Amino acid sequence: MEDTICAISTASGVGAISIIRVSGNESIKIVNKIFKGKDLEKVESHTINYGKIVENNKIIDEVLVSIMKAPKTFTMEDVVEINCHGGIAITNKILEILLMNGCRLAEPGEFTKRAFLNGRIDRIEAESVMDLINSKTEQSRKMAINGLNGEVSKIIKNLKNKELKILSNIEVNIDYPEYDDIEVLTNEKILPDLESLKEEMKDIIKKSYDGKLIKDGITTSIIGKPNVGKSSLLNMLLEEEKAIVTDIEGTTRDIVEGQVIIDGIILNILDTAGIRETNNTVEKIGVEKSIELIDKSDLLIFVLNNNEKITKEEIDLLNKIKNKNYIIVINKCDLENKLDIDNLKLDNIIKMSVLNNEGLSKLKLKIKEIYNLEKIQTSDLTYLNNAKDIALLKESLKNIESAISNINNNIPIDMVEIDIKNACEKLNEILGESYNDNLLNEMFANFCLGK
């Protein structure tokens, strides 16, 4: 990280202003070489300075230059931000001049990566930067801010401190057993602390699934046989004509996608091809995709036709989804009832007439009940929301459970110590206090260049 990096930090296109960010030991010196105005190497930190960017004594643009000196910057290095007039040509020209005068083009997320490596932020806070940029709802924005402000990190650090406290007592007991004034910790005395820690970790994991829900949304597939109203239901949920609707069976051959927000949670809705036996090659591929999505979806909306008897294929599908979150939508309730499903003992049934725009509020209410969205909306939104972090926390929990099991089986205390050390190591990975280059590259791969 000895070189000085630069990148455009604002979105590409025409606008009022663009910002080019520069970070590194030579950032102020390099910008000063192309700046006509005050001597930037002599101005106070955290000041904005008016002047012009020049090349070969020719004025390129009129700018405002922000000077921020280390260590009180995002990267903990000297940082300069050039605020120029918005526009692709002028922004790229200033970037080109910086590159010609000693800067290197930043890699995706490299500014945030430097902040992480320099100890300005931990891994949870670093990933929250991208979560904040990508947030699509007020709930996900609030959750990202809690991550960025270190509130989520405090939860993990608190768990780690409790594990370290148990470890330190064990190690003192192992290393200095001869001292009478040091409490001799027995397995029975350690056990209550470990049991308490286990319950706390289980509670955090449970709440973190809500966090993942807020961040990633609910993958929702609308399934059923052809011509029961799946595409019409998708259009009704999205309030737009996203899917083609006809009376011809098998119109939907591929997956049609859309998003709708319910109580701050995104529903990623997929309208699937009608599931039935078919000899049509293209339709058959669509049916296979629909069946694959059943296992990948968080929520299944199974649409049945009120005006037709239930088929064996539909009963087979109902059996396939019974252990998943599902809602049965009985559509076309404005027509004569020929559907007999009372003997199937189904839960979460909603009666609708998509054609007459009836029943949508009941469907949304049922989704809110299944996922307890009202509780999520009123909570403090301080969660882990990354699948990898949740997995690491679960591994840490397994280590704690192993320690408890070893105590109950009278395994020597030094073996219990190994379990707790392994639990600590998983928490270190969540915080980024231990990492490898592959993890680091994966972390920042999806960041934009100027962040």
Compute how many other C-beta atoms are within 10 angstroms of the C-beta atom of residue 384: 26
User: What does the block give as tokens for 274?
Assistant: 């009608």
pLDDT band of 423, cuts 50, 70, 90? very high
Compute how many other C-beta atoms are within 10 angstroms of the C-beta atom of residue 373: 22
Is a pLDDT exceeding 50 seen at residue 151? yes
Higher-confidence residue of 42 and 166: namely 42
Q: Give CB contacts under 8 A, 24+ apart, made by 132-139.
A: 133/448, 133/451, 136/259, 136/261, 136/266, 137/214, 137/261, 137/264, 137/265, 137/266, 138/264, 139/214, 139/264, 139/265, 139/376, 139/377, 139/381
Task: Provide the CATH number for the domain formed by 5-121 in this structure.
Answer: 3.30.1360.120
Of 60-69, 145-154, 212-221, 310-319, which has the strongest mean pLDDT?
60-69
Give mean pLDDT, residues 217-246.
Answer: 76
Question: Sign (positive/negative) of CA torsion 405, 407, 409, 415?
Answer: positive
pLDDT at 66: 97
All residues at 6 or more sequence positions from 279 whose CB lies less than 8 Å from its CB, including other chains: none
What digits encode the pLDDT tens for the residues 26-68?
999 999 999 999 999 999 999 999 999 999 999 999 999 999 9
Is a pLDDT exceeding 50 seen at residue 127? yes
- Give pTM, 2 decimals: 0.70
Question: Sign (positive/negative) of CA torsion 163, 165, 170, 171?
Answer: positive
Instruction: Give the β-pairing of 5-8 and 104-105.
Output: parallel
All residues at 6 or more sequence positions from 239 whose CB lies less than 8 Å from its CB, including other chains: 260
Q: How far apart are the first and last CA of the chain?
A: 16
> What CATH class is the domain 150-213+386-443?
mainly alpha
Is a pLDDT exceeding 50 seen at residue 132? yes
Give mean pLDDT, residues 305-318.
Answer: 85
pLDDT at 72: 94
Listed residue (415, 375, 413, 421) closest to 396, CA to CA: 421
CB 222 within 8 A of CB 234: yes
pLDDT band of 247, cuts 50, 70, 90? very low
pLDDT at 449: 59
pLDDT at 285: 56
User: How many contiguous H segments (helices) and E segments (strands) does the chain have?
Assistant: 15, 13
- CATH 3.30.1360.120 spans which residues of the chain? 5-121
- CATH 1.20.120.430 spans which residues of the chain? 150-213+386-443
pLDDT at 274: 56
Compute how many other C-beta atoms are within 10 angstroms of the C-beta atom of residue 33: 14
Instruction: Give whole-number Cα distances, 298 to 181, 213, 222, 324, 327, in Å.
Output: 56, 10, 11, 8, 11
User: Is 335 in a helix, a strand, or coil?
Assistant: coil
Indicate the range of 146-155, 160-169, 269-278, 348-357 predicted with least confidence: 269-278
Is a pLDDT exceeding 50 seen at residue 119? yes
Compute how many other C-beta atoms are within 10 angstroms of the C-beta atom of residue 115: 22
Cα 363 to Cα 327: distance, rounded to the nearest angstrom: 8
pLDDT at 375: 67
The values of phi and psi at residue 145, to 5°, are -65, -40
What digits encode the pLDDT tens for the residues 83-102?
999 889 999 999 999 999 99
Listed residue (216, 360, 369, 239) closest to 298, CA to CA: 216
Give mean pLDDT, residues 312-332.
Answer: 86
Percent of the chain with pLDDT strictly greater than 90: 34
Give mean pLDDT, residues 340-363.
Answer: 86
Give the CATH architecture of domain 217-370: 3-Layer(aba) Sandwich (3.40)
pLDDT band of 253, cuts 50, 70, 90? very low
Residue keyed to tokens 């301080």: 382
- CATH 3.40.50.300 spans which residues of the chain? 217-370
pLDDT at 30: 97
CA trace torsion 354, 355, 358, 362 (10° rounding): 0
